[in-house]
Structure 1
């Protein structure tokens, strides 16, 4: 959420390297020499310093769809160890389409989206101006934030960052822009004392009535602050990359270890179809692995950087990091033999509900259902009988096979005009198998693993969860 394309991100990287300030420090994150296979195999994950329950899944917003559209360049359907613990629960709202957690900014409470596919932490500012997608002023209520917004004047710890602006524009016309500042952000037991945040006062936003902003957990080069106060002047030439929340936590030594971990629970079929809010849907943990039952299947793999010349994944030292990009070696299911793909450009994204895989993979996988799933041109989705038999589906990463539960592969889609229940696949078409096309392992996959991210080392550890 909040990104346009790998190419544009690379443009930001190469154009803004000389921008800086004597008052503030900006940090870029680039690939380091990767650890050897033997070193990664010895990785032991400690218990987290802090954990918070994931508590609400907000509805899939059009802005996320539009951002991923631009990424892929195609139409996108509206789519064990030692130590203390710092874990927060995550919850789900509005039919389990995005995960939320409770946080405070400057002592003020908000529900924020958890997104490993973007990097900014932002909260709408109190008194913001709301617009429709055509830029026409509308009522504040129409933006449907969950609160009246963040009040900088009510925070004893807020410090403005002068002469800069936070600015994101989405492909469907949604935008957020406004001031930038530093404040204390707390999530569960984790407190970061001087986090750079966006506090937008202009918004065209199709909200859910629950969240008031977002916590971005990806890399600095995806941040959206610019060396201008005029949103129309924001460009690659004046981007000011900064440390996202977890990077700041590491710098402030708020965590003992440079890990954060996500365990996302699936809601039941009935909850997803009928309940707008699920209060306990997993954990977001800082400093170690999230506290859920796991198996012995585990692998630690390097994050892929991106080539500044080709825009495709690169493991070369110095390649800039943007997303949590991993090399998917194989998808295995009945009928998958002989399907070869040449693409390792796949990101792990908590902010995307479905998995998006290369076209040859989804075509064969759809046929393996009984009865087979079929593609709907009208809905731009693979639809399936709600009682269909689901084939086994395995994802091989780092030489380890991770299974995706059948419960994640058939999702409720409401009813048709005749009152018949409609279901769609949890895995969908991500487009042609081309090197510069980005694919996504979203919540469909992440429900089945604990994903533990080490952005400082540039590694991810995936651990298979016990069935639940």
Structure 2
């Protein structure tokens, strides 16, 4: 692997999982062209997000803050998602080895993991602390109580997040069920050492990105995890496809925005959308859709690319233009579609120009490190042009409550924040602010994404 790729992946820590090193496997990526939207059938399994919870402090500090939910739906392959942590994390209910957990839904990472019963909790500096400091929603996964659990010996799960959160421990195989979709012998991390700033609801995470981003290593010593001993494996949905648990190789996510009041005050916000397997999520849409290839990452420059010599990690898509008011900006870097990041992170020039068009204008707060805006400001319409189609973002997603001042007044920030200069090897994100407005259907097998504009809600 090259240092260029390492540098890019280190920057991607904002999204979620970052390993000490990565093992590079070459793939033949698709040509960087869009096509007419794929015809998407109704989902086989539809799972409502169970709720939305406050995002982990680590991602809060990185300016990624709000997630989603799930609600029971008639179709067995569609799962409802909920929101927790003041609508900072989207959660869904899953069963592992017959035990029930609330797990974060994350398209910005690839591992499925759940804290093991009896785990040791640490703070970010690595000092041992009480278990309740990690704020998991349960006492953890009891491997002895699972009739289907099998240990995976002589390997370890080892993941470190950009803010210092880390998890490590054994690896196992077990049955993972989400909605009506059940995957046998799925490889999962069951960490026993956890530095986690939880929300009191989730006990782990389901990652839906690509296999090269998984975090299992051919060593039992976490300090020796490296590119040379990484063992990429099949993430949960990829396994479902291999086991023919779904007829179609794609999953679809519709994240509902929470109300302003819920974002400001509610530690848990149920029924905020769906994750659907094998078809499109069941929400009203309009006749605007496109299917585009996922961009891999160059082995030489570390930048997103549609070339044949690239690796897939995240759902990175080419944006043709950002439009707002009478401004149209063609970006250099390509953003990542990430359910695990609350905000949009765009280039400095785009963010500054957009912020200036609020009435009154949004202002960058040096102490807060964010663009702050009047909670009742008028929001300019924002469009994202992908594959020849412009997808619009509702004004309600562009003003987000982020705390209170000393007098108890709500402080608001813009939903689109500064992700750095517009350079090809920088990392930009279309997070929940964008994803609230589309149905995003991910095909990790063919490395494609279909975006469909949602009807107003």
Q: Under a length normalisation based on structure 1, what TM-score does the superposition of the two structures give?
A: 0.90
The equivalent position to 2:257 in structure 1, one of 253, 266, 277, is: 266
State the 1:320 CA deviation. 1.2
Distance, in Å, in 1 between the alignment partners of 2:295 and 2:20 is 14
Q: What per-residue deviation string (whole Å, max 9, x for no partner) do you get for residues 206-232 of structure 1?
A: 111000000000000000000100011
Secondary structure at the aligned position of 2:327 is classed as coil
Q: What per-residue deviation string (whole Å, max 9, x for no partner) do you get for residues 68-113 of structure 1?
A: xxxxxxxx4475xxxx751000001121001000000001000000
The equivalent position to 1:212 in structure 2, one of 203, 208, 215, is: 203
Over aligned residue pairs, what C-alpha RMSD do you find? Answer: 1.9
Asked whether the 8 Å contact 1:31–1:315 carries over to 2, the reply is no
Asked whether the 8 Å contact 2:59–2:163 carries over to 1, the reply is no
State the 1:180 CA deviation. 0.2
**Where does residue 92 of structure 1 map in the other structure?**
83
1:187 aligns with 2:139: no
Secondary structure at the aligned position of 1:445 is classed as helix
Deviates more, 1:453-462 or 1:271-280: 271-280
Matches within 5 A, 1:267-282: 267-282=258-273
State the 1:42 CA deviation. 5.6
Distance, in Å, in 1 between the alignment partners of 2:391 and 2:141 is 41
**Where does residue 20 of structure 1 map in the other structure?**
none
The equivalent position to 2:56 in structure 1, one of 57, 61, 74, is: 61
The alignment covers a number of residue pairs equal to: 436
Mark the runs of 5 or more structure 1 residues left unpaired by the alignment.
Answer: 18-27, 67-75
Q: 1:204 to 1:36 in 2, by over 3 A?
A: closer
Asked whether the 8 Å contact 1:59–1:208 carries over to 2, the reply is yes
Distance, in Å, in 2 between the alignment partners of 1:273 and 1:195 is 37
Matches within 5 A, 1:343-354: 343=333, 345-354=334-343
1:365 aligns with 2:354: yes
**Where does residue 409 of structure 1 map in the other structure?**
398
**Where does residue 23 of structure 1 map in the other structure?**
none
Mark the runs of 5 or more structure 2 residues left unpaired by the alignment.
Answer: 1-8, 66-74
Q: Under a length normalisation based on structure 2, what TM-score does the superposition of the two structures give?
A: 0.92
Secondary structure at the aligned position of 1:13 is classed as coil
Secondary structure at the aligned position of 1:321 is classed as strand
Distance, in Å, in 1 between the alignment partners of 2:356 and 2:148 is 57
Distance, in Å, in 1 between the alignment partners of 2:156 and 2:46 is 32
Greater per-residue strand proportion: 2
Asked whether the 8 Å contact 1:6–1:311 carries over to 2, the reply is no
Q: 1:194 to 1:425 in 2, by over 3 A?
A: same
**Where does residue 3 of structure 2 map in the other structure?**
none
Secondary structure at the aligned position of 2:92 is classed as strand
Asked whether the 8 Å contact 1:359–1:430 carries over to 2, the reply is yes
Distance, in Å, in 1 between the alignment partners of 2:12 and 2:348 is 20
State the 1:399 CA deviation. 0.6
